[in-house]
Structure formats: C-alpha cells, structure tokens
Structure 1
Amino acid sequence: MSRWHTNVADASGRVLAKAGFTGTGTSVRHADDGTAVAYQVYALPKEDDVLVPID
C-alpha cells in the first residue's frame, strides 16, 4: 500500500510514519493548472518486505 502528500504537509508525513509507513522517495505530479508539485511518497511494507528508509 502506498500514500503520498505534498511537501508543505509535513504533519501528514509524521502521521504516515506513526502508522508504519516508510518514506520511499519523491514524485512530481501536476496540479489542475499544470503546475508541477513535488510529493513525498510512502509505502506500508508487508511483513516479509524489506524497505530502506530515505534520508
């Protein structure tokens, strides 16, 4: 399972981390007006998955 949030919503990242999600990188998506927006991407690993946290 994966989730993402904008870089301005740091509290969302803390909530995801507390729920067991691991940050996996950054993705760029486009807003309705075409503006590029950076998003932090998180994944919730399965019990047998190994994810390496990002710095």
Structure 2
Amino acid sequence: MVRPGQIYKISANILKSRLQMTIRASISCNGVEIADVTQPVKEGVPEILNMRV
C-alpha cells in the first residue's frame, strides 16, 4: 500500500553500458501518475532514487 506523504526509495544499478543512462521510475494509481523521479546513472555505480507521494 502506498501512503501519502511517505518517501519511497528505489535502487538502480546499471550492470553494463558504455554510456551514462537515465533511469525513470513512477508510481501510478488508476492510470494517474502520483509520483515520479528521473536520474542519470553510470555503469557500476548504484544510485538511490527517492519519490515523495
């Protein structure tokens, strides 16, 4: 269950890529996006993406 006002963390790790990539994550409810995050990620560097609902 997703609760309003909470921060949700997502871990992203690119295993193989010569180029930097952009990761996008979102939470939606009944087809309506209620939170999203976009962040550049490099190969082999784990990143934490934070979303506030």
Same fold (TM > 0.5): no
Q: Judging by fraction of residues, say which structure has more helix.
A: 1
Q: Name the structure, 1 or 2, with higher relative contact order (CA <8 Å, separation 6+).
A: 2
